[in-house]
Amino acid sequence: MSIDRIAAKVVAGERVSADEALALYARAPTALLGRLADSVRARKHPGRLVTYIIDRNVNYTNVCVAKCNFCAFYRPVGSPEGYVLGFDEVFRKIDETIAVGGVQLLLQGGHNPDLPLTWYEDLFRAIKERYPSFKLHALSPPEVIHLSRLSALPVPAVIERLIAAGLDSIPGGGAEILVDRVRRLLHCYGKATADEWLDVMRHAHRAGLRTTATMMYGTVETDEERIEHLMRLREVQDETRGFTAFITWSYQPDHTELAGSEATGVDYLRTLAIARIVLDNFDNLQASWVTQGGKVGQLSLAYGANDMGSVMIEENVVRAAGASYCMDEVEIVRNIEDAGFAAKRRNMHYDILGDPIFRERDVPRMLELGTARADGDVTIPEELRLYPARSRAGKEARTP
Protein backbone atom coordinates (compact mmCIF):
# COMPACT_ATOMS: atom_id res chain seq x y z
CA MET A 1 0.00 0.00 0.00
CA SER A 2 1.60 3.25 -1.10
CA ILE A 3 1.94 6.00 1.50
CA ASP A 4 1.41 8.60 -1.22
CA ARG A 5 -1.93 7.05 -2.21
CA ILE A 6 -3.15 6.99 1.39
CA ALA A 7 -1.91 10.56 1.93
CA ALA A 8 -3.86 11.65 -1.16
CA LYS A 9 -7.02 10.11 0.32
CA VAL A 10 -6.54 12.07 3.54
CA VAL A 11 -6.01 15.32 1.64
CA ALA A 12 -9.17 14.60 -0.40
CA GLY A 13 -11.17 14.16 2.82
CA GLU A 14 -11.74 10.42 2.36
CA ARG A 15 -11.92 8.03 5.28
CA VAL A 16 -8.93 5.73 5.85
CA SER A 17 -9.28 2.04 6.75
CA ALA A 18 -7.54 0.39 9.71
CA ASP A 19 -4.87 -1.06 7.39
CA GLU A 20 -4.26 2.31 5.75
CA ALA A 21 -4.05 4.03 9.13
CA LEU A 22 -1.55 1.45 10.34
CA ALA A 23 0.58 1.87 7.22
CA LEU A 24 0.66 5.65 7.73
CA TYR A 25 1.39 5.33 11.44
CA ALA A 26 4.18 2.82 10.94
CA ARG A 27 5.82 4.20 7.79
CA ALA A 28 4.95 7.83 7.00
CA PRO A 29 7.63 10.38 7.90
CA THR A 30 6.67 12.41 10.98
CA ALA A 31 6.61 15.68 9.01
CA LEU A 32 4.14 14.18 6.51
CA LEU A 33 1.90 12.82 9.28
CA GLY A 34 1.90 16.31 10.81
CA ARG A 35 1.03 17.98 7.50
CA LEU A 36 -1.84 15.56 6.90
CA ALA A 37 -3.22 15.98 10.42
CA ASP A 38 -2.87 19.74 10.14
CA SER A 39 -4.80 19.73 6.86
CA VAL A 40 -7.67 17.84 8.54
CA ARG A 41 -7.61 20.30 11.46
CA ALA A 42 -7.63 23.28 9.10
CA ARG A 43 -10.61 21.83 7.18
CA LYS A 44 -12.61 21.43 10.39
CA HIS A 45 -11.40 24.66 12.01
CA PRO A 46 -10.63 27.13 9.22
CA GLY A 47 -10.56 30.25 11.40
CA ARG A 48 -7.15 29.68 13.05
CA LEU A 49 -8.76 29.66 16.50
CA VAL A 50 -7.44 27.50 19.29
CA THR A 51 -9.65 27.04 22.33
CA TYR A 52 -9.13 26.17 26.00
CA ILE A 53 -11.31 25.88 29.07
CA ILE A 54 -10.75 27.12 32.60
CA ASP A 55 -11.71 24.35 34.98
CA ARG A 56 -10.44 22.37 37.94
CA ASN A 57 -9.51 18.71 37.97
CA VAL A 58 -10.79 17.51 41.34
CA ASN A 59 -10.30 13.94 42.53
CA TYR A 60 -12.90 13.38 45.24
CA THR A 61 -11.27 10.22 46.61
CA ASN A 62 -8.05 8.29 46.03
CA VAL A 63 -9.39 5.07 47.59
CA CYS A 64 -9.82 2.48 44.88
CA VAL A 65 -10.48 -1.23 44.65
CA ALA A 66 -9.62 -1.47 40.94
CA LYS A 67 -5.81 -1.48 41.43
CA CYS A 68 -4.78 -0.81 37.82
CA ASN A 69 -1.07 -1.53 37.58
CA PHE A 70 -0.29 1.70 35.68
CA CYS A 71 -1.82 3.94 38.36
CA ALA A 72 0.26 5.78 40.95
CA PHE A 73 -2.69 7.72 42.35
CA TYR A 74 -4.85 5.20 44.14
CA ARG A 75 -4.62 3.96 47.73
CA PRO A 76 -6.20 0.66 48.87
CA VAL A 77 -9.19 0.58 51.22
CA GLY A 78 -7.99 1.23 54.78
CA SER A 79 -4.76 2.99 53.75
CA PRO A 80 -3.76 5.81 56.11
CA GLU A 81 -3.17 7.92 53.00
CA GLY A 82 -6.71 7.37 51.67
CA TYR A 83 -9.00 10.40 51.57
CA VAL A 84 -12.52 11.47 50.65
CA LEU A 85 -13.12 15.17 50.12
CA GLY A 86 -15.87 16.82 52.14
CA PHE A 87 -18.66 18.77 50.44
CA ASP A 88 -17.27 21.99 51.98
CA GLU A 89 -13.82 21.30 50.53
CA VAL A 90 -15.38 20.84 47.08
CA PHE A 91 -17.33 24.11 47.47
CA ARG A 92 -14.10 25.93 48.40
CA LYS A 93 -12.44 24.56 45.27
CA ILE A 94 -15.36 25.74 43.15
CA ASP A 95 -15.18 29.22 44.71
CA GLU A 96 -11.46 29.38 43.82
CA THR A 97 -12.21 28.15 40.29
CA ILE A 98 -14.91 30.75 39.70
CA ALA A 99 -12.53 33.46 41.01
CA VAL A 100 -10.15 32.80 38.08
CA GLY A 101 -12.95 32.57 35.50
CA GLY A 102 -13.53 28.80 35.69
CA VAL A 103 -16.80 27.29 34.49
CA GLN A 104 -16.68 23.60 35.43
CA LEU A 105 -15.21 20.83 37.56
CA LEU A 106 -13.68 17.76 36.02
CA LEU A 107 -14.61 15.46 38.89
CA GLN A 108 -13.19 11.95 38.97
CA GLY A 109 -11.97 9.57 41.63
CA GLY A 110 -11.14 6.04 42.70
CA HIS A 111 -13.65 3.22 42.98
CA ASN A 112 -14.33 3.66 46.66
CA PRO A 113 -16.67 0.96 48.02
CA ASP A 114 -17.66 3.23 50.90
CA LEU A 115 -19.27 5.95 48.76
CA PRO A 116 -22.80 4.91 47.74
CA LEU A 117 -24.67 6.42 44.80
CA THR A 118 -26.59 8.69 47.19
CA TRP A 119 -23.31 10.39 48.22
CA TYR A 120 -22.72 11.41 44.58
CA GLU A 121 -26.33 12.51 44.12
CA ASP A 122 -26.23 14.62 47.28
CA LEU A 123 -22.90 16.19 46.28
CA PHE A 124 -24.11 17.03 42.77
CA ARG A 125 -27.40 18.49 44.06
CA ALA A 126 -25.57 20.55 46.69
CA ILE A 127 -23.22 21.93 44.02
CA LYS A 128 -26.06 22.79 41.64
CA GLU A 129 -28.03 24.46 44.42
CA ARG A 130 -25.10 26.76 45.26
CA TYR A 131 -23.73 27.23 41.74
CA PRO A 132 -26.63 26.71 39.29
CA SER A 133 -24.71 27.54 36.12
CA PHE A 134 -21.47 25.78 37.08
CA LYS A 135 -20.94 22.57 35.06
CA LEU A 136 -20.13 19.04 36.24
CA HIS A 137 -17.99 17.05 33.81
CA ALA A 138 -17.87 14.04 36.07
CA LEU A 139 -17.39 10.29 36.55
CA SER A 140 -15.63 8.37 33.80
CA PRO A 141 -17.27 5.17 32.43
CA PRO A 142 -15.49 2.83 34.89
CA GLU A 143 -16.78 4.95 37.80
CA VAL A 144 -20.31 4.71 36.39
CA ILE A 145 -19.90 0.93 36.10
CA HIS A 146 -18.57 0.78 39.67
CA LEU A 147 -21.68 2.67 40.85
CA SER A 148 -23.90 0.36 38.83
CA ARG A 149 -22.37 -2.68 40.53
CA LEU A 150 -22.42 -1.07 43.98
CA SER A 151 -26.06 -0.03 43.72
CA ALA A 152 -27.22 -3.12 41.77
CA LEU A 153 -28.79 -0.81 39.17
CA PRO A 154 -28.28 -1.01 35.40
CA VAL A 155 -25.91 1.56 33.88
CA PRO A 156 -28.70 3.56 32.13
CA ALA A 157 -30.54 3.93 35.47
CA VAL A 158 -27.37 5.16 37.19
CA ILE A 159 -26.81 7.69 34.40
CA GLU A 160 -30.42 8.91 34.66
CA ARG A 161 -30.10 9.38 38.42
CA LEU A 162 -26.82 11.24 38.06
CA ILE A 163 -28.31 13.50 35.37
CA ALA A 164 -31.29 14.22 37.62
CA ALA A 165 -28.81 15.21 40.36
CA GLY A 166 -26.86 17.59 38.09
CA LEU A 167 -24.41 15.65 35.92
CA ASP A 168 -23.72 17.63 32.72
CA SER A 169 -21.16 15.54 30.86
CA ILE A 170 -18.99 12.42 31.23
CA PRO A 171 -15.20 12.56 30.81
CA GLY A 172 -13.60 9.84 28.70
CA GLY A 173 -11.17 8.59 31.36
CA GLY A 174 -10.48 4.95 32.03
CA ALA A 175 -10.39 4.03 28.34
CA GLU A 176 -6.63 3.30 28.38
CA ILE A 177 -6.54 1.05 25.28
CA LEU A 178 -9.93 -0.35 24.29
CA VAL A 179 -8.63 -3.84 23.53
CA ASP A 180 -9.26 -6.55 26.11
CA ARG A 181 -5.85 -8.24 25.71
CA VAL A 182 -4.24 -4.98 26.81
CA ARG A 183 -6.79 -4.36 29.55
CA ARG A 184 -6.08 -7.77 31.10
CA LEU A 185 -2.35 -7.04 31.16
CA LEU A 186 -2.98 -3.63 32.77
CA HIS A 187 -5.32 -5.11 35.42
CA CYS A 188 -8.11 -2.84 34.23
CA TYR A 189 -10.25 -5.48 32.48
CA GLY A 190 -12.21 -5.99 35.73
CA LYS A 191 -13.11 -2.32 36.08
CA ALA A 192 -14.44 -2.14 32.51
CA THR A 193 -13.97 -4.26 29.41
CA ALA A 194 -13.62 -2.43 26.11
CA ASP A 195 -17.27 -3.16 25.28
CA GLU A 196 -18.46 -2.03 28.70
CA TRP A 197 -16.57 1.28 28.42
CA LEU A 198 -18.06 1.96 24.99
CA ASP A 199 -21.55 0.94 26.15
CA VAL A 200 -21.50 3.49 28.98
CA MET A 201 -20.76 6.15 26.38
CA ARG A 202 -23.55 4.89 24.11
CA HIS A 203 -26.01 5.05 27.02
CA ALA A 204 -24.79 8.51 28.02
CA HIS A 205 -25.16 9.81 24.47
CA ARG A 206 -28.65 8.32 24.18
CA ALA A 207 -29.54 10.03 27.45
CA GLY A 208 -28.56 13.34 25.89
CA LEU A 209 -25.10 13.84 27.42
CA ARG A 210 -22.05 14.81 25.39
CA THR A 211 -18.83 13.14 26.47
CA THR A 212 -15.14 13.04 25.61
CA ALA A 213 -12.98 10.08 24.60
CA THR A 214 -9.37 9.37 25.57
CA MET A 215 -6.49 7.01 24.90
CA MET A 216 -3.55 6.32 27.19
CA TYR A 217 -0.82 4.66 25.12
CA GLY A 218 2.73 3.52 25.79
CA THR A 219 2.25 0.54 28.11
CA VAL A 220 2.01 -2.93 26.60
CA GLU A 221 -0.06 -2.34 23.47
CA THR A 222 1.02 -2.75 19.84
CA ASP A 223 0.57 -0.18 17.09
CA GLU A 224 -2.26 -2.34 15.72
CA GLU A 225 -4.03 -2.09 19.07
CA ARG A 226 -3.70 1.72 19.15
CA ILE A 227 -5.35 1.82 15.72
CA GLU A 228 -8.05 -0.65 16.87
CA HIS A 229 -8.80 1.70 19.78
CA LEU A 230 -9.29 4.62 17.40
CA MET A 231 -11.47 2.52 15.08
CA ARG A 232 -13.75 1.51 17.95
CA LEU A 233 -14.21 5.16 18.96
CA ARG A 234 -14.93 6.12 15.35
CA GLU A 235 -17.64 3.42 15.12
CA VAL A 236 -19.45 4.67 18.22
CA GLN A 237 -19.17 8.25 17.02
CA ASP A 238 -20.76 7.20 13.70
CA GLU A 239 -23.66 5.76 15.71
CA THR A 240 -24.23 8.53 18.26
CA ARG A 241 -22.29 11.71 17.38
CA GLY A 242 -22.03 12.16 21.14
CA PHE A 243 -18.27 12.68 21.56
CA THR A 244 -17.17 16.30 21.70
CA ALA A 245 -13.44 15.66 21.74
CA PHE A 246 -10.59 13.18 21.85
CA ILE A 247 -7.57 13.43 24.14
CA THR A 248 -4.54 11.15 24.04
CA TRP A 249 -1.59 11.03 26.42
CA SER A 250 1.34 8.79 27.16
CA TYR A 251 1.55 6.47 30.15
CA GLN A 252 3.41 8.10 33.06
CA PRO A 253 5.46 5.36 34.72
CA ASP A 254 6.87 6.84 37.96
CA HIS A 255 5.71 5.19 41.20
CA THR A 256 3.53 2.67 39.34
CA GLU A 257 3.57 -1.11 39.74
CA LEU A 258 4.01 -1.56 35.98
CA ALA A 259 7.02 0.82 35.83
CA GLY A 260 8.89 1.07 32.48
CA SER A 261 9.70 4.21 30.54
CA GLU A 262 7.67 7.02 29.04
CA ALA A 263 6.97 7.29 25.31
CA THR A 264 8.90 10.01 23.48
CA GLY A 265 7.67 13.36 22.19
CA VAL A 266 7.78 12.15 18.58
CA ASP A 267 5.67 9.11 19.52
CA TYR A 268 3.16 11.53 21.08
CA LEU A 269 3.02 13.79 18.02
CA ARG A 270 2.67 10.83 15.63
CA THR A 271 -0.09 9.33 17.79
CA LEU A 272 -1.95 12.63 17.96
CA ALA A 273 -1.61 13.07 14.20
CA ILE A 274 -2.89 9.58 13.34
CA ALA A 275 -5.80 10.12 15.73
CA ARG A 276 -6.74 13.32 13.87
CA ILE A 277 -6.59 11.43 10.56
CA VAL A 278 -8.57 8.37 11.73
CA LEU A 279 -11.16 10.21 13.83
CA ASP A 280 -12.67 12.07 10.92
CA ASN A 281 -15.98 12.33 12.77
CA PHE A 282 -14.50 14.07 15.85
CA ASP A 283 -14.44 17.85 15.75
CA ASN A 284 -11.97 18.52 18.54
CA LEU A 285 -8.62 17.11 19.58
CA GLN A 286 -6.92 18.37 22.71
CA ALA A 287 -3.19 18.85 23.28
CA SER A 288 -2.05 17.04 26.41
CA TRP A 289 0.42 19.61 27.75
CA VAL A 290 -0.17 18.18 31.24
CA THR A 291 1.78 15.05 30.33
CA GLN A 292 3.96 16.39 27.47
CA GLY A 293 4.87 19.82 28.83
CA GLY A 294 4.09 23.21 27.32
CA LYS A 295 6.56 23.01 24.45
CA VAL A 296 5.29 19.71 23.00
CA GLY A 297 1.79 20.90 23.87
CA GLN A 298 2.37 23.90 21.64
CA LEU A 299 3.76 21.70 18.83
CA SER A 300 0.56 19.63 19.06
CA LEU A 301 -1.19 22.53 17.33
CA ALA A 302 0.76 21.60 14.18
CA TYR A 303 -0.08 17.90 14.57
CA GLY A 304 -3.86 17.99 14.62
CA ALA A 305 -4.86 19.54 17.95
CA ASN A 306 -7.22 22.53 17.93
CA ASP A 307 -7.65 22.83 21.68
CA MET A 308 -5.17 23.32 24.53
CA GLY A 309 -7.35 21.49 27.03
CA SER A 310 -7.73 23.07 30.36
CA VAL A 311 -6.16 25.78 32.46
CA MET A 312 -5.89 23.18 35.14
CA ILE A 313 -6.03 24.70 38.58
CA GLU A 314 -5.49 21.37 40.29
CA GLU A 315 -4.17 17.96 39.20
CA ASN A 316 -3.42 14.87 41.26
CA VAL A 317 -3.36 11.76 39.06
CA VAL A 318 -0.62 12.55 36.54
CA ARG A 319 1.43 14.31 39.22
CA ALA A 320 1.42 11.10 41.31
CA ALA A 321 3.14 9.39 38.35
CA GLY A 322 5.84 12.02 38.00
CA ALA A 323 4.56 14.74 35.63
CA SER A 324 3.89 18.15 37.18
CA TYR A 325 3.68 20.68 34.37
CA CYS A 326 1.74 23.82 35.17
CA MET A 327 0.45 26.50 32.80
CA ASP A 328 -1.94 29.22 33.84
CA GLU A 329 -4.15 31.09 31.40
CA VAL A 330 -1.43 33.66 30.57
CA GLU A 331 1.01 30.90 29.66
CA ILE A 332 -1.51 28.86 27.64
CA VAL A 333 -2.51 31.93 25.65
CA ARG A 334 1.16 32.83 25.07
CA ASN A 335 1.78 29.36 23.63
CA ILE A 336 -1.32 29.49 21.41
CA GLU A 337 -0.57 32.96 20.05
CA ASP A 338 3.12 32.24 19.53
CA ALA A 339 2.06 29.30 17.33
CA GLY A 340 0.08 31.69 15.12
CA PHE A 341 -3.47 31.13 16.42
CA ALA A 342 -6.04 33.28 18.21
CA ALA A 343 -6.85 32.02 21.71
CA LYS A 344 -10.47 31.73 22.82
CA ARG A 345 -12.09 30.49 26.02
CA ARG A 346 -14.72 27.78 25.59
CA ASN A 347 -17.23 25.75 27.58
CA MET A 348 -17.59 21.93 27.73
CA HIS A 349 -19.55 21.94 24.46
CA TYR A 350 -16.78 23.87 22.71
CA ASP A 351 -18.95 26.99 22.39
CA ILE A 352 -16.73 30.08 22.42
CA LEU A 353 -17.12 32.07 25.63
CA GLY A 354 -14.78 34.93 24.79
CA ASP A 355 -11.26 36.25 24.81
CA PRO A 356 -8.75 35.42 27.56
CA ILE A 357 -10.18 36.44 30.89
CA PHE A 358 -6.91 38.00 32.11
CA ARG A 359 -7.34 40.61 29.36
CA GLU A 360 -10.75 41.52 30.75
CA ARG A 361 -9.93 41.70 34.45
CA ASP A 362 -7.20 41.10 37.00
CA VAL A 363 -6.71 37.39 37.67
CA PRO A 364 -4.01 36.13 40.04
CA ARG A 365 -1.12 34.29 38.32
CA MET A 366 -1.05 30.58 39.09
CA LEU A 367 2.47 29.20 39.04
CA GLU A 368 1.81 25.89 40.75
CA LEU A 369 -1.04 23.40 40.46
CA GLY A 370 -3.20 22.82 43.52
CA THR A 371 -3.59 19.40 45.11
CA ALA A 372 -6.66 17.57 46.39
CA ARG A 373 -5.52 18.07 49.96
CA ALA A 374 -2.47 19.27 51.85
CA ASP A 375 0.01 16.45 52.53
CA GLY A 376 -0.86 14.57 55.69
CA ASP A 377 -4.44 15.89 55.92
CA VAL A 378 -6.54 12.81 56.70
CA THR A 379 -9.63 14.60 57.98
CA ILE A 380 -12.80 12.54 57.63
CA PRO A 381 -15.60 14.85 56.47
CA GLU A 382 -18.50 15.15 58.91
CA GLU A 383 -21.20 14.25 56.37
CA LEU A 384 -19.54 10.93 55.48
CA ARG A 385 -21.03 9.45 58.64
CA LEU A 386 -24.47 9.81 57.03
CA TYR A 387 -23.60 7.26 54.34
CA PRO A 388 -23.30 3.51 54.97
CA ALA A 389 -19.80 2.09 54.40
CA ARG A 390 -19.35 -1.39 52.95
CA SER A 391 -15.76 -2.16 53.87
CA ARG A 392 -14.68 -3.07 57.39
CA ALA A 393 -12.19 -0.17 57.41
CA GLY A 394 -14.89 2.23 56.24
CA LYS A 395 -17.36 1.05 58.88
CA GLU A 396 -14.77 1.44 61.64
CA ALA A 397 -13.78 4.91 60.46
CA ARG A 398 -17.41 6.05 60.50
CA THR A 399 -18.23 4.67 63.96
CA PRO A 400 -18.45 7.62 66.37
CA–CA dist 286, 368 (Å, integer): 21
By CB under 6 A, tell whether 258 contacts ligand SF4.
no
**Which of 25, 52, 60, 74 forms a contact with ligand SF4 (CB under 6 A)?**
74
Q: How far apart are CA 61 and CA 211, in angstroms?
A: 22
> How many residues touch ligand SF4 (CB under 6 A)?
12
Check binding of 68 to ligand SF4 (CB under 6 A): yes
- Angle subtended at Cα 286 by Cα 346 and Cα 298, rounded to the nearest 5 degrees: 100
| Residue 163 sits in the site that holds ligand SF4 (CB under 6 A) | no
Q: Say whether residue 94 binds ligand SF4 (CB under 6 A).
A: no
Number of H helices, E strands in the chain: 15, 10
| Nearest alpha carbon to residue 56 among 92, 4, 14 | 92
Closest CA to 216 of 350, 72, 336: 72
CB of 256 to ligand SF4, least distance (A): 9
If the CB atoms of residues 54 and 188 are measured against ligand SF4, the closer one turns out to be: 188
Rule CB under 6 A: say whether 242 interacts with ligand SF4: no
* Dihedral sign of CA atoms 245, 251, 252, 256 in order: positive
The single-letter code of the amino acid at 120 is: Y
* Residue burial 176-196, b: 16+ Cβ < 10 Å; e: rest: bbbbeebbebbbbbebbbbeb
SS3 101: coil
Out of 161, 191, 234, 270, name the contact with ligand SF4 by CB under 6 A.
191
Binding status of residue 304 toward ligand SF4 by CB under 6 A = no
Residue choice 41, 111, 203, 232 for contact with ligand SF4 (CB under 6 A): 111
Distance in Å, CB of 143 to ligand SF4, minimum? 8
| Residues 177, 215 contacting (CB under 8 angstroms) | yes
Q: How far is the CB of 371 from ligand SF4 (least distance, A)?
A: 16
C-beta of residue 61 within 8 angstroms of C-beta of residue 108:
no
Q: By three-state DSSP, how is residue 387 classified?
A: coil
Per-residue binding letters, 121-160, with ligand SF4 (x by CB under 6 A) = ---------------------x------------------
Q: By CB under 6 A, name the one of 64, 138, 200, 311 that touches ligand SF4.
A: 64
Which among 174, 173, 138 has a CA at the least distance from the CA of 159? Answer: 138
* Residue 71 contacts ligand SF4 per CB under 6 A: yes
Sequence-ordered list of residues with C-beta below 8 angstroms from that of 155, at least 6 positions apart, any chain: 144, 145, 148, 199, 200, 203
> Which range in 64-72, 219-227, 302-310, 339-347 contacts ligand SF4 by CB under 6 A?
64-72
Does position 218 interact with ligand SF4 (CB under 6 A)? The reply is no
Binding window for ligand SF4 (CB under 6 A); candidates: 68-76, 233-241, 244-252, 303-311: 68-76
Nearer to ligand SF4, 28 or 63 (CB): 63
Closer residue to ligand SF4 in complex, CB, 77/301: 77
Dihedral angle, C-alpha 251, 257, 259, 262, nearest 10 °: 10
> CA–CA separation, 120 vs 170, rounded Å?
14
**In this structure, what DSSP letter does residue 381 have?**
P
Residues 352-391 interacting with ligand SF4 (rule: CB under 6 A): none
Nearest to ligand SF4 of 64, 117 (CB atom): 64
| Residue closer to ligand SF4, measured from CB, 25 or 60 | 60
**Residue (110 or 394) nearer to ligand SF4, CB:** 110
Q: Which stretch binds ligand SF4 (CB under 6 A): 66-74, 289-297, 299-307, 351-359?
A: 66-74
The phi and psi torsions of 247 (rounded to 5 degrees) equal -130, 130
Q: Check residue 394 for interaction with ligand SF4 (CB under 6 A).
A: no
**What residues line the site for ligand SF4 (CB under 6 A)?**
64, 66-68, 71, 73-74, 110-111, 142, 188, 191
